Amino acid sequence: MIVHLFPEPDKRAKAIGVYAAVASVGGALGLLLGGVLTRALSWHWIFLVNLPVGVVGFLLTLRYVPEDGDSAAVLEVDFPGAVLLVASLMIAVFAIVQTGQCGWGSAHTIGFGALAVALMSAFVARQATARTPLVPLRIFTPERFTQAVRIPAALAPTLSNGLQVTSLTCPAGRPSRRPRAGTRGARA
């Protein structure tokens, strides 16, 4: 979307920089403020806090993002692709969340992880053949785009989800003299 909205290289570079800064700060502040919110009020508030953020984002989109002009494309949605994408992501999250009980090398985690990868592969295959794909694969073909996105796209899941995975393995509510995150089951 940024490439489409900012065709001039200078403005595009600035827009990508602003996007990266907001995403980085939002990721860090989201975890910090989420902890403060759950500690001060309760964990139930994490679901409500997204409502005003979503409304503000929607209103800003209406105000600043121009219409594409292709209203016919809005009516055609790739439902099978959407189901494959959502299913693969839900199963991947389920597999990761269950590692606390089952372990990373368990048949449960590996099986659900493999199922998530298979569904994501089916999603990519579906996008290659869908008439109106959710993610048109042609956006990955221009060399400039591919070079600019290849490494961040490979690292983003690891870097952004590392904080969430670490929080799952931290000893919650157990004070300790030294940090023991990720040492579950290891002798101190």
Task: Tell me the average pLDDT of the chain.
Answer: 79
- Name the band, by pLDDT with cuts 50, 70 and 90, for residue 188: very low
Classify residue 71: in a domain, yes or no: no
Which range, 18-22, 66-70, 109-113, 160-164, has the best average confidence (pLDDT)?
109-113
- Name the band, by pLDDT with cuts 50, 70 and 90, for residue 35: confident
pLDDT of residue 111: 96
Residue 49 and residue 32: Cα distance in Å, rounded? 14
Per-residue pLDDT tens for 86-145?
999 999 999 999 988 988 899 999 999 999 999 999 999 999 999 889 888 877 776 656
Domain boundary among the residues 43, 66, 89 is at 66
- Average the pLDDT over 12-16 and give the result: 83
pLDDT of residue 186: 47
- Number of structural domains (the chain) is 2
The residue with greater pLDDT, 13 or 90, is: 90
Classify residue 156: in a domain, yes or no: no
Residue 120 and residue 90 in contact, taking contact as beta carbons nearer than 8 Å: no
- The residue range of the domain holding 21 is 1-66
Classify residue 60: in a domain, yes or no: yes
How far is the first Cα of the chain from the last one, in angstroms, to the nearest whole number?
50
Asked whether the predicted pLDDT for residue 172 surpasses 70, the reply is no
pLDDT of residue 82: 93
Measured CA angle at 135 (ends 132, 140), to 5 deg: 120
Classify residue 45: in a domain, yes or no: yes
Tell me, yes or no, whether 87 and 53 share the same domain: no
Tell me, yes or no, whether 13 and 52 share the same domain: yes
Q: Which of 100, 123, 99 is nearest to 110 (CA)?
A: 99
- What are the structure tokens assigned to 123, written together? 């999603």
Which range, 21-35, 71-85, 113-127, has the best average confidence (pLDDT)?
113-127
DSSP string, 164-177: HHHHHHS-TT---S
